[in-house]
Amino acid sequence: MTEYLLFSALAYPNIDPIIFEFGPLAIRWYSLAYLGGILFAWFYMGRLITTKKPPCTHEHISDYIFWAMMGIIIGGRLGYVFFYNPNYYLHNIGDAFAVWDGGMSFHGGFIGVCISTWIFTKKNKIPLFQFADIVACASPIGLMLGRIANFINGELYGRTTDSYFGMVFPNGGIEARHPSQLYEAALEGLMLFIVLYVLYNFTRAKYYAGCITGIFIIGYALARTFVEQFREPDSHIGFLFNTDMLTMGQVLNLPMVLFGLYLIFRVKKYI
């Protein structure tokens, strides 16, 4: 069986996670993915506010980028600490702040961005849900770049497979595994971006504040839930509730779907 898996696997490109080093300074693809996602969001949000009644100014967007970064970093780290490894960090509190050692949670980052966006819009007297719709439209590309960086790092790989999509990852043993990072990049990133682009530019969804945000949240949750069927669960967590399929990511997606549905059904036309 192992020989067949190795024979049928696609070649892993084995790209160096470090782009270049200059003394103690190392520029990594993962860091570049975060930067690229933020810069794209800044550019794309600026394009989206060229409407009849924009909810904010270009200066607001430039200021917001810092708030979004803080929400992603703080929320993402705290989410990983509390959702994925609370017992370890309860006994190693200092490690909870070691962001450079890895460990970020999308769901935690999502909560962090929600809080930072709420504070920012309230502080600047910007309509929350109109602004959130613009943020939602710009978010999938950042998710796509992040998953591609995970693939380059050879982390968050999928379960073993005998399909022709399998790859042997450097840290995943000798068996071929699903490149689940690329599945997520395609579904949570590129596909979701296209869906939101079409809805925002070619339908009246943008005139119902919060609708685009709700669709983004549900779209992400459904895509992530599907890909979790191929992704290897965290080794220290495994599958939940004595099942062989339910993962922490899927459990955390449930409240996201409920929140997304709430946003869609509460919307009121504002133009």
pLDDT by residue for the chain (271 residues), tens digit each? 444 444 556 889 989 999 988 877 888 898 899 999 999 999 999 999 987 688 999 999 999 999 999 999 999 999 989 888 888 888 788 777 776 666 788 999 999 999 999 999 999 999 999 999 999 999 999 999 999 999 999 999 999 998 888 999 998 999 999 999 999 999 999 999 999 999 999 999 999 999 999 999 999 999 999 999 999 987 767 788 777 778 888 999 999 999 999 999 987 666 5
Distance CA 198, CA 70 (A): 29
pLDDT score at 269:
64
pLDDT score at 102:
66
In a domain, 22, yes or no: yes
In a domain, 81, yes or no: no
In a domain, 46, yes or no: yes
pLDDT score at 270:
64
Distance CA 144, CA 193 (A): 9
In a domain, 153, yes or no: yes
pLDDT score at 3:
47
Residue among 248, 251, 257 at smallest CA distance from 221: 257
pLDDT score at 1:
45
In a domain, 200, yes or no: yes
Counting the structural domains of the chain, the total is 1
pLDDT score at 140:
98
Residue among 186, 183, 218 at smallest CA distance from 199: 218
Please give the residue range of the domain that contains residue 202: 2-55+127-266
- Return contacts of 243-247, CB within 8 angstroms, 24+ apart: none
In a domain, 67, yes or no: no
In a domain, 29, yes or no: yes
Looking at the chain, which runs of residues are DSSP E strands? Answer: 18-22, 25-28
In a domain, 120, yes or no: no
Per-residue DSSP letter, 19: E
In this structure, are residues 73 and 108 in contact, taking their beta carbons and an 8 Å threshold? Answer: no
